[in-house]
Amino acid sequence: MSARFSSSSSTAPDPLRNTVLWLAAYARFPAGRLEAKAETMLCMAALATAAETTENPRFLIESRDIAKDSAQRAHAQRRSHAHFKSDNSAKV
Position 37 scores a pLDDT of: 92
Position 27 scores a pLDDT of: 86
Give 18's Cβ-side CA count (13 Å radius).
Answer: 20
CB burial of 63-85 (b: ≥16 within 10 Å; e: otherwise) equals eeeeeeeeeeeeeeeeeeeeeee
SS3 content of the chain, % helix, strand, coil (to 5): 60, 0, 40
Structural domain count, the chain: 1
Position 63 scores a pLDDT of: 82
Position 57 scores a pLDDT of: 66
Alpha-helical regions (H) of 10-65: 15-26, 36-55
67 lies in some domain: no
9 lies in some domain: yes
Mean pLDDT by 10-residue block, N- to C-terminus, for the chain (92 residues)? Answer: 46 77 87 88 88 70 87 89 61 60
- Tell me the residue range of the domain where 18 lies: 3-55
